[in-house]
Amino acid sequence: MSFPNETIVPDKVTVGPPAPPLLSLVVPFYNEQEMIPHFFSGVIPELERIPNIRFEILCVNDGSRDRTLDSLIAYAHADARVRVVDLTRNFGKEAALTAAIFEARGDLIVPFDADLQDPPEVIGKLVEKWREGYDVVLAKRADRESDSPLKKWTAQFFYRIHNDMADLPIPENVGDFRLFTRNVANALKTLPESCRFMKGLFAWVGFKTAIVEYKRAPRAAGKTKFSGWKLWNFALEGITSFSTLPLRIWTYLGVSVAIFALTRAFWLVIRTMLYGVDVPGYASLATAILLLGGIQLIGIGVLGEYVGRIYLESKGRPVYLVRKRYEKAMAHA
């Protein structure tokens, strides 16, 4: 019941402070059972030190053949901040990283390697730089002393060749380790290609970017899963994903060979008219045939790389498939 001239005052609505942003540390795992205890003991304390941040650790098991999945599930059952996504088979690191980014729930996302060569304490520095207003914060290796001389040389060679050939350069000595916002993750989700070179895709989406330098550490345990052959194929994937210059090179080479052949034919006609015909050997003829045959085969191989990519993309298959997800149920008050 109300009375005349009565003033009704609405109940006050108590609004608490907004929840701190959620940081998703996304980590692909492949046969890393030896590294898992070192990983969690090194990462969780560093994430807990970051002020005004909630976090989750999203682990993607990329078809491991050892006990990696069992170990990850044990951590997920013990800590609600750990989630595990188990893929149906080994799809490769780029696909596993894509799955991790797509499955992450955070406002901030940090791709990270399980080998701890990227120091966990750098994550706090990335967050500090993000607070200055950047959408992407790259973690750049100040030196590569932990790498072998051959790996350092090949890395420098790859970045130089790729950035000279590609329309969009990628930052040198920057791996997958970086921080980016939910807006960047949503932009990555709109890119439909199934052959994914993530370093190039990170660069392609753009956004306001800053750099934090750090020193990379040696692997704490286990062995690297990247052989020289895999690194070579990875480099080819990067170049063919973001440049058509290899195709144009063979056009230019073909034009150059044709000009040389016409010039030599013209010279042979003039020489025959002036000096008559001699009887040359077959060595030069065989050399020319083998040289031109080799050039043609290389050109066909380069063309095949691009045709193969078209073939794979035309199938429209998903980048990855999830077998099961594991996480501890959150307790509600």
- Report the percentage of the chain scoring pLDDT > 90: 5
Instruction: Kindly report the CATH number assigned to the domain that includes residue 54.
Output: 3.90.550.10
Q: Is 24 exposed, middle or buried (0-12, 13-18, 19+ CB in 10 A)?
A: buried
For residue 78, what are the domain limits?
22-223+318-327
108 and 165 belong to one structural domain: yes
pLDDT for position 124: 87
Name, in order, each residue with C-beta under 8 angstroms of 35's C-beta and a sequence gap of 6 or more: 114, 115, 116, 219, 220, 221, 222
158 part of a folded domain: yes
Q: Would you call 207 helix, strand, or coil by DSSP?
A: coil
CA distance 104 to 57: 9
List pLDDT tens digits, range 205-226.
888 888 888 877 665 555 555 5
Given pLDDT bands bounded at 50, 70 and 90, which one contains residue 175?
confident
Window from 132-141, 233-242, 311-320 with minimum mean pLDDT? 233-242
Length of the chain (residues): 333
The mean pLDDT value of the chain amounts to: 76
87 and 198 belong to one structural domain: yes
185 part of a folded domain: yes
Contact indicator for 306, 247 with CB cutoff of 8 Å: yes
109 and 78 belong to one structural domain: yes
pLDDT for position 205: 83
168 and 279 belong to one structural domain: no
The enclosing H or E element of 85 equals strand 82-87
CA distance 172 to 143: 11
Contact indicator for 127, 210 with CB cutoff of 8 Å: no
Is a pLDDT exceeding 50 seen at residue 3? Answer: no
308 and 323 belong to one structural domain: no
218 and 250 belong to one structural domain: no
pLDDT for position 25: 93
4 part of a folded domain: no
3 part of a folded domain: no
11 part of a folded domain: no
Estimate to the nearest angstrom the gap between the alpha carbon of 37 and the chain centroid. 25
308 and 211 belong to one structural domain: no
CA distance 71 to 34: 10
323 and 294 belong to one structural domain: no
41 and 169 belong to one structural domain: yes
pLDDT for position 301: 75
175 and 257 belong to one structural domain: no
Q: Is 123 exposed, middle or buried (0-12, 13-18, 19+ CB in 10 A)?
A: buried
CA distance 71 to 65: 12
15 part of a folded domain: no
71 and 125 belong to one structural domain: yes
Name, in order, each residue with C-beta under 8 angstroms of 38's C-beta and a sequence gap of 6 or more: 116, 220, 221
CA distance 285 to 268: 14
pLDDT for position 23: 92
Number of domains in the chain: 2
Given pLDDT bands bounded at 50, 70 and 90, which one contains residue 244?
low
pLDDT for position 201: 82
Is a pLDDT exceeding 50 seen at residue 49? Answer: yes
162 and 203 belong to one structural domain: yes
Q: 85 is written with which tokens?
A: 């996504």
CA distance 233 to 131: 37
Task: Quickly count: other Cβ atoms within 10 Å of residue 222's Cβ.
Answer: 17
234 part of a folded domain: no
Q: Cα–Cα–Cα angle for 11, 14, 17, nearest 5°? A: 165
* DSSP 8-state code for residue 181: E
17 part of a folded domain: no
The enclosing H or E element of 307 equals helix 283-315
List pLDDT tens digits, range 127-143.
888 888 888 888 888 76
Q: 299 is written with which tokens?
A: 């050109």
Classify residue 111 as left (phi > 0), alpha (psi -120 to 50) or beta. beta
Classify residue 194 as left (phi > 0), alpha (psi -120 to 50) or beta. alpha
